[in-house]
Structure 1
Amino acid sequence: MTALTAPAATAAETRLRSVLRLDAVACAAFGLLMTAGFALVDSLLGLGPAWAVPFGVYLLGCAVALALVAGYPDLVRGQVTGVVVNNAIAALALAVLPFTGLVDLTVAGYIVLLGGAALVALFAVLEAAGAARI
């Protein structure tokens, strides 16, 4: 009897899976902070519960979706492209929100949202590069 084995993952696929998983962990951690720690987020960042909780729920959903995409047996370029588009939109929203006047952020709030925008943009770039190689 001959055993069938899956082809070994390429280095590019392995790197992309790692980036997707890291993105999922970051989303889960920040999502938990926003939802479970909304009082802390409100006092430290100035992002009230009306913003923090829905944003946290969104991030938890993103974490699940990222984990599913990363864990799928065969990476699907369309799914990864969806992740990239989502991250690009999220990075833009995080970069613009502090300057809209919709939230009364503290200095720490500006730093966290703009830093988050930069991190999400970095994930988008890394994931786009990985998608191009699969």
Structure 2
Amino acid sequence: MTTTTRSASEARLRSVLRQDAAACAAFGLLMTAGFALVDRLLGLGPAWSVPLGVYLLGCAAALALVAGYPALVRGQVIGVVANNAAAAAALAALPFTGLVDLTVLGTIVLLGGAALVALFAVLEGTGAKRLA
């Protein structure tokens, strides 16, 4: 791989990592600060939404740190991919566990979130393969 191709590949991966961080931060803030709205619209009570929001805010910080390193570290990006794969599976399974009394909108949002997180995992995994 040429230096130019590698630079372009790293730039795309950084962009995806930053978009992932922004999405985590936005949803994390919604889940923590807007827990009453989340409970009413989604059926995801504060006992679920606040810890999920704190987790997402932590993910946002970690993603921003990984994306901001002068040279991307393949092992860190693989860690991001593993975290996203686990999170996508958990989000996809939660509506069907009976642990939470979700509204229809809540089920749609969690399944949509699972799809978005899985997409980030695929894009970041593809980028990680291109890192040395």
Same fold (TM over 0.5): yes
Q: Distance in 2 between matches of 1:111 and 1:30?
A: 15
Q: 1:83 aligns with which of 80, 94, 99?
A: 80
For structure 2, the residue ranges without an aligned partner over 5 or more in a row are: none
Q: Distance in 2 between matches of 1:119 and 1:85?
A: 15
Q: How many residues align?
A: 128
Higher helix share: 2
Q: Distance in 2 between matches of 1:77 and 1:24?
A: 17
Q: Distance in 2 between matches of 1:108 and 1:30?
A: 15
**Equivalent position of 1:62 in the other structure:** 59
**Code of the aligned partner of 1:43:** R
Deviation at 1:88, TM superposition (A): 0.0
Q: Distance in 2 between matches of 1:73 and 1:111?
A: 38
Q: 1:18 aligns with which of 15, 20, 23?
A: 15
Structure with max Cα Rg: 1
Asked if 1:118 corresponds to 2:115, the answer is yes
Alignment of 1:100-115 (within 5 A): 100-115=97-112
CA RMSD of aligned residues (A): 1.1
- Which consecutive segments of 4 or more residues in structure 1 shift more than 3 A? none
For structure 1, the residue ranges without an aligned partner over 5 or more in a row are: 1-6
